[in-house]
């Protein structure tokens, strides 16, 4: 069995994913507490969840249209 990866339309949802999670990383706070569960960590989790929405929608559209 041979598996090959061809560049194609899957690069577009990949770009959406990289941009969305790059934005999320940029929005996250760099100051971390000493391992405690602070509001900053909860806010970062919500930012990552917000970044997952366009990523998942892009992959869903790609799967439907191909």
Domain boundaries, the chain: 11-28+38-65
**For every residue of the chain, which 3-state class applies, written as one string?**
CCCCCCCCCCHHHHHHHHHHHHHHHHHCCCCCCCCCCCHHHHHHHHHHHHHHHHHHHHHHHHHHHC
Which pLDDT score, from 0 to 100, does residue 66 have? 80
Assess contact for 63 and 24: CB atoms under 8 A: no
Which pLDDT score, from 0 to 100, does residue 49 have? 94
Q: Which of 10, 15, 19 is nearest to 61 (CA)?
A: 10
Entry pTM: 0.74
Which pLDDT score, from 0 to 100, does residue 40 have? 76
pLDDT by residue for the chain (66 residues), tens only, comes to: 887 777 788 899 999 999 999 999 888 866 555 566 667 778 888 989 999 999 999 999 989 988
What is the Cα–Cα distance from 57 to 66, expressed in whole angstroms? Answer: 14
């Amino acid at each position: 069995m041979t598996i090959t990866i061809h560049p194609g339309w899957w690069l577009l949802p990949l770009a959406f994913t990289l941009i969305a999670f790059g934005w999320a990383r940029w929005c996250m706070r760099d100051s971390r507490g000493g391992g405690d569960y602070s509001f900053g960590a909860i806010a970062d989790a919500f930012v990552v969840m917000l970044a997952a929405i366009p990523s998942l929608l892009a992959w869903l559209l790609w799967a439907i249209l191909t």
